[in-house]
Amino acid sequence: MFQRGGWMIRERVRKRIEEVIKDLYGVEVSPDVNRSEKYGDFATNVAFVLAKTLKRNPKEIAEEIAGKLDEPAFERVEALNGFINVYISHEGWIKELESALEENYGKAELGKGERVLIEFVSANPTGPLNVANARAAAFGDALVRLFRFCGYRADAEFYVNDCGRQFELLGESIEARLKGEEPPEDGYKGDYIVEIAEEIKKEGREKEGREFFSRYAVERIVEWQRKALERYRVHFDNWVFESEIRKKGKVEEVLEKLKDNIVEEEGAKWFLSGKFGDRREKRVVVKKDGSYTYLLPDIAYHLNKFERGYELLIDLLGPDHIDQVPSIRAGLAALGYPPEKLEVIIIQWVNLIQDGQKIKMAKRKGKFVDMEWLLDEVGVDAARFFFLMRKASSPLDFDLDLAKEESQRNPVYYVQYAHARIHNVIEFAKSKGIDPEDKGDLSNLKEKEEVELIKKIAEFPEIIQDAVRERDPTRIPFYLMDLASFYHSFYQHHRIVGSPYEKERLALCRGTINVLKKGLELIGVSAPLRM
């Protein structure tokens, strides 16, 4: 029997192979099933995996499994040199299109309600958000949306590091501006520091002192960051301040809990992190002057995440933080928490390209190149889409000129144009008195471009689940570009309204627009009805 709603062809193939293997050999195995362009629609190498366990020839195993793979959606199954190739019937693909016409096509229950905390951006409260923060925001927010769509209870969190030397420098920089002086050499020199100093003057509070200046500036800067992120369609469920964690005594609590793994040397306190998987034998947690290094508050913060009931922690960090990860995991392990439940994704740097040249990131014509400047230049949709066109592990060159182009060369324009084109087709059909909800007999969709488009639509649930499993939302924009390309090809080759199969083709249009809209929504990009 065909399943409805939750129907996903690749998953059905995988489950059926799994069932046959258990029946034949009494072995439980989760086979890898991949799309195949050359041999059938799907292929698996599971016979080679089983050959090691069963100590048998993989060709024989493949033939035995293939002989037992019966399923209404399978047109035929063949064993070839140890591989198993599955061909999906036309009826199977049509059932997939019917599922795509339903609301929330592609939604899954991978997470089964698991509580996940995804921390991202967490920019220092010492200045406006920059373009690297914008990349992290696009990636993190898309990840949160995908996790929720796949059955996780996922929350987004922004950690405000409002303590330490940078906090002090912020106050010193404002104090200098209030006195009409230049900020310290290692201080903050942006125009926003002058703006905050002017606000303090207007309120008549220039005599309050550095601690007040720092706290006032943090409040203003965090407010700017919140507004910029709202404009960017990024919402955080939690804003956590380091100062609040410290006020609650959480840092001292961690130090006390780690005491059996702390040694004192030359007046400093060292955590024996090497005992818990760190590549270094030990790390400083309390300096000679009694102040904490970054490590102790970071361990306290991650402990706090677990104490709030989260089962999986995902941190998105910049490349300059990569060295901190093993020591934080070691700290969690020492406190009795599973270190593997802290996953870290490193978000690499961004280069802005204009007129073929790299823009200097510090200033542009006297203006700081921040996230808001980028959004003014290219808009929210282009920014979010372009930031997801490279894996997080790769530096990204952001072509400003291409992002502003209204042509098919611009990927986000190309995808949005496909959505708008389909909407116009459906509206035109309505104007002719055609009910687009009447799908006719979908088995009539047999033309090459029609079948190819159906198969591409059918990839959507797979792409979504793979993006979650691999923590990689960059799969979505590339899939959407492919889907748009397949639709444009179908549109160019076949008349829709006025053809003998207009109902069926309109249903194909509806399936496509549903996936385009949901895919864009999952990466925080709008789906315009007109371009």
Mean pLDDT across 108-123: 97
The CATH number linked to 497 is: 1.10.730.10
Neighbours of 184 (CB within 10 A): 13
Q: Are residues 43 and 178 in the same domain?
A: no
Where does a domain end: 346, 371, 392? Answer: 346
Contact 454, 445 (CB under 8 A): yes
Find the mean pLDDT for residues 477-501.
Answer: 98
Q: What is the mean pLDDT of residues 94-111?
A: 94
Q: Is residue 319 in some structural domain?
A: yes
* Domain edge (last residue) among 290, 321, 346: 346
DSSP 292: B
User: Does residue 286 surpass a pLDDT of 60?
Assistant: yes
**What CATH number has the domain bearing residue 24?**
3.30.1360.70
Split at pLDDT 50, 70, 90, the class of 221 is: very high
Beta-bridged to residue 117, according to DSSP, are 155, 313
Q: Do the Cβ atoms of 381 and 412 come closer than 8 Å?
A: yes
Whether 221 and 336 map to the same domain: the answer is yes
Beta strand residue intervals within 257-311, DSSP E: 262-265, 268-271, 283-286
Does 278 score more than 80 pLDDT? yes
- Say yes or no: 83 and 120 in one domain: no
Residue 312 DSSP code: E
Q: What digits encode the pLDDT tens for the residues 410-449?
A: 999 999 999 999 999 999 999 999 999 999 999 999 999 9
Q: Say if 370 falls within a structural domain.
A: no
Nearest CA to 58 out of 45, 42, 40, 70 is that of: 45
Q: Answer whether residue 110 is part of any domain.
A: no
Q: Does 286 lie in the same domain as 138?
A: yes
Average the pLDDT over 100-104 and give the result: 93
Question: Are 65 and 190 found together in one domain?
Answer: no
The reply to whether 224 and 300 lie within a common domain is yes
Q: Which domain holds residue 434?
A: 411-522
User: Based on the domain organization, do 152 and 259 belong to the same domain?
Assistant: yes
Task: Kindly state whether residues 77 and 145 are assigned to the same domain.
Answer: no
For residue 322, the Cα-to-chain-centroid distance in whole angstroms is 19
Q: Is 322 part of any domain?
A: yes
**How many domains in the chain?**
3
> Mean pLDDT score of the chain, rounded to an integer?
94
247 shares its domain with 324: yes
**Which whole number is the average pLDDT over 117-123?**
98
Residue 6 has pLDDT above 80, yes or no: no
pLDDT band at residue 366 using 50, 70 and 90 as cut-offs: very low
- Domain-embedded: residue 106: no
Answer whether residue 373 is part of any domain: no
State whether 337 and 471 are in the same domain.
no
Q: Summarize pLDDT for 21-78 with one digit per residue, the tens.
A: 999 999 999 899 988 878 889 999 999 999 999 999 999 999 999 999 988 889 999 9
Query: Is the model's pLDDT at 364 over the cut of 80?
Result: no
**Cut 0.75: pTM above it:** yes
Q: Domain for residue 197, yes or no?
A: yes
Same domain assignment for residues 271 and 172: yes
Instruction: Write down the pLDDT at residue 368.
Output: 60
- Say if CB 116 and CB 314 are below 8 A apart: yes
The residue from 70, 88, 106 where one domain ends is 88
3-state secondary structure of 372: helix
Same domain, 158 and 305: yes
pLDDT computed for residue 361 by the predictor: 66
Phi, psi dihedral angles at 34 (to 5 degrees) = -125, 155
pLDDT for residue 39: 85
Q: Does the pLDDT at position 2 exceed 80?
A: no
In a domain, 398, yes or no: no
